[in-house]
């Protein structure tokens, strides 16, 4: 079965907004993220990635980031989750992207 869907991806950095350092082990942040998705009753996939970016003032930062992927979750709910995670992880901001995707479920029996 093929269907058109919308994928939302929320990128949540783990460096604290004030100190610029990661305060907790990555596993603790992952646990908070899982609990947030459970409370919003959304299915999710998550990956730990590492990246770098430039601040508006020119400073360069590298940090661990959780990349949360949600499929066919209403945009308002995605934004609420993003706001919660931004606050919980004490971030200046989080980045959210939306993309149309084609979903195919493949089944095979031996």
Q: What is the residue extent of each domain of the chain?
A: 2-104
Q: If pLDDT is split at 50, 70 and 90, which confidence band does 55 have?
A: confident
User: What predicted TM-score, i.e. pTM, was given to this entire model?
Assistant: 0.90
In CATH, the number for domain 2-104 is 3.30.70.120
Instruction: Give rounded-to-5 percent helix, strand, coil for the chain.
Output: 25, 40, 30
Distances (CA, A) of 98 to 8, 18, 72, 101: 5, 28, 10, 10
Distance CA 105, CA 109 (A): 13
In this prediction, residue 43 carries a pLDDT of 96
What integer best gives the mean pLDDT of the chain?
95
In this prediction, residue 3 carries a pLDDT of 73
Mean pLDDT confidence for 87-93 = 95
In this prediction, residue 2 carries a pLDDT of 66
């Amino acid at each position: 079965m093929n269907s058109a869907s919308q994928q939302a991806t929320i990128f949540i950095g783990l460096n604290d907004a004030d100190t610029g350092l990661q305060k907790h082990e990555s596993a603790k942040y992952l646990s908070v993220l899982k609990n947030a998705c459970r409370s919003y009753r959304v299915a999710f996939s998550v990956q730990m990635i590492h990246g770098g970016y430039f601040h508006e003032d020119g400073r360069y930062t590298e940090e661990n980031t959780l990349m949360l992927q949600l499929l066919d979750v209403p945009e308002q709910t995605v934004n609420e989750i993003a706001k919660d995670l931004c606050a919980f992880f004490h971030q200046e901001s989080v980045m959210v992207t939306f993309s149309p995707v084609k979903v195919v479920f493949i089944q095979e029996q031996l």
